[in-house]
Structure 1
C-alpha cells in the first residue's frame, strides 16, 4: 500500500472491529463507513473481505497483521 489514507483506513477498521463467531471460528468484522476507493484497494490486496450486500467487512489474518504493523509505523497504541 502506498496511500496513507488506505493504510489509516485499515488501522481504523481494525481498531473499530468486533469479533463475531461465524460457526467455523471468530472473525474481526467492522462497519464499512469509509471511502469506497480505500475499501476496494484493501479488498484487492486481500486485507479485507467485502460483500456488496453487507454493511460490514471482515478483516483477513493478513489484514490484521498489516494493521498491527501500521499501528507501530504511525505510533498508535492499542488499548
Structure 2
C-alpha cells in the first residue's frame, strides 16, 4: 500500500492546530518525518530545536483551519 503523505500531512497539521496556544505555538508530539515535510511546505517554522512545541506559519494556521472545516467539521 502506498500512503498519500500529503493527506497525512494535512491531517497532522489539523490535529496539531487543536493545541494552538500563544498565537501560533502547538505541541509537537507527532512523527519527525511529518514535521520535516510540514516545514518543507512552509506550514511550520523549523521544528529542530529542544522546545516541546513548534510554531505554525501564518499560512500553516490558515491551512489548518481550512482542513478542519473541510474534513473534520460535522454537517449541521
TM-score computed with the length of structure 1 as normaliser: 0.75
CA RMSD, aligned part only?
A: 1.9
Question: Any unmatched runs of 5+ in structure 1?
Answer: 20-26
Q: Which structure: greater strand fraction?
A: 1
Question: Any unmatched runs of 5+ in structure 2?
Answer: none
TM-score computed with the length of structure 2 as normaliser: 0.78
1:39 aligned to 35, 42, 67, which one? 35
Which of structure 1's runs of 4+ aligned residues deviate more than 6 A?
none
Indicate the SS of the match to 1:30.
strand
- Figure out how many residues of one structure are paired with residues of the other and give that number: 70
**Could you give the per-residue CA deviations for residues 23-73 of structure 1, whole angstroms, max 9, x where no partner exists?**
xxxx31111100111100101111111232222101111001101111122
Q: Which structure: greater helix fraction?
A: 2
Is the alpha carbon distance of 1:32 and 1:75 closer, same or farther for their aligned partners in structure 2, counting shifts above 3 Å?
closer
